[in-house]
Amino acid sequence: EPVIKFFEGITDMTIQIVIMAMRLAPYGVFAIIASTLAQTQSTELLMALIPFSICVVVGLLVHVIGTNSLVLYFLAKRNPIDNFKKMKAVAITAFSTSSSGATMPFTMKTAEQELGVKKDVSSFVIPLGATINMDGTALFQGVSALFLANIYGIDLTIGGQLTVIVMAVMASIGTAAVPGVGIVILTMILVSVNIPPEGILFILPVNNLLDMCRTVVNVVGDMVCSIYINHGEEKVSK
Ligand code: ASP
């Protein structure tokens, strides 16, 4: 019991430190953006966030509709449009909570009751997916790394770009299913290709909105995976 109490104390303390840091973050971001704007004397950097965000959102849309439709149609032998309609309410919940973890109970219920996934499949695949399957986050991290490389004038070689791809997939696995963590883990990728990790501050102003969008992709990906695994299980048991 004393050991448990000790670690609970450390957890509470860590959470308090994170809360304090999160409260300070907006002022820090404001200060760093203000000083960069003053140094460069141009709003180009802020304006660059617009095409960056559009790029992330278009990438997410292409992936969530395109890749998942292909998996549903060819691998799971399902009608993608019908299935997407059934996922709509879960997608809206993911968008508004920015958390795959918070959406998880609803994701499981929808997979079982609307999408016809067996309980033993959904209760394994969905929680596992919510933790490690973060395709939206990986996409965001990849685009962000390239964007920041451009901002810092770092010319990434093909090797560097491959590192970004591999690291983005690994880092997204390590991202917790809660709001905003994807951008913190992004620092790991930046360090691996020698981009200054404080670069994430430039992305912070648009992070909330992009977090909402990428969480939808993460959650839809989990449901599509559960449908596919369920299809495989059905084939085996026939
Ligand atoms: N909010 C995301 C999720 O819960 C994780 C992230 O990319 O920050 O799926």
Task: Report the candidate in 95, 75, 77, 88 with the shortest Cα–Cα distance to residue 114.
Answer: 88
The pLDDT tens digits of the residues spanning 89-137 come to: 999 999 999 999 989 999 999 999 999 999 999 999 999 999 999 999 9
Residue 186 · residue 104 · CB < 8 Å: no
- Cβ-based neighbour number of residue 42 at 10 Å: 10
Could you tell me if the CB of 137 is within 6 A of ligand 1? yes
172 in Cβ contact with 141 (< 8 Å): yes
Report the distance separating Cα 80 and Cα 62, nearest Å. Answer: 14
Nearest ligand 1 atom to alpha carbon 219: 9
pLDDT (0 to 100) of residue 4: 93
Residue 77: left if φ>0, alpha if ψ -120 to 50, beta else—which one? left
Instruction: Note the pLDDT tens digit of each residue in 9-40.
Output: 998 898 888 778 778 877 877 887 777 777 76
Ligand 1 centre from 98 Cα, in Å? Answer: 6
Residue 214 makes CB contacts below 8 A (sequence gap 6+) with 56, 60, 134, 136, 137, 139, 140, 182
184 CB near ligand 1 (under 6 Å): no
| 83 in contact with ligand 1, CB cutoff 6 A | no
Instruction: For residue 178, give the ligand 1 atom closest to its CA.
Output: 4
**pLDDT reported for residue 34:** 79
**What pLDDT sits at residue 27?**
83
> For the whole model, what pTM was predicted?
0.84
- Give residue 2's pLDDT band: very low, low, confident or very high (50, 70, 90): very high
Q: What is the pLDDT of residues 150-178, one digit of tens each?
A: 988 999 899 999 999 999 999 888 888 88
Which atom of ligand 1 is nearest the CA belonging to 177? 4
Residue 198 Cα to ligand 1 middle (Å):
20
Residue 179: exposure state from Cβ atoms within 10 A (0-12, 13-18, ≥19): middle
The CB of 206 under 6 Å from ligand 1? The reply is no
Average per-residue pLDDT in the chain?
Answer: 91
Predicted confidence at residue 219, as pLDDT, reads: 97
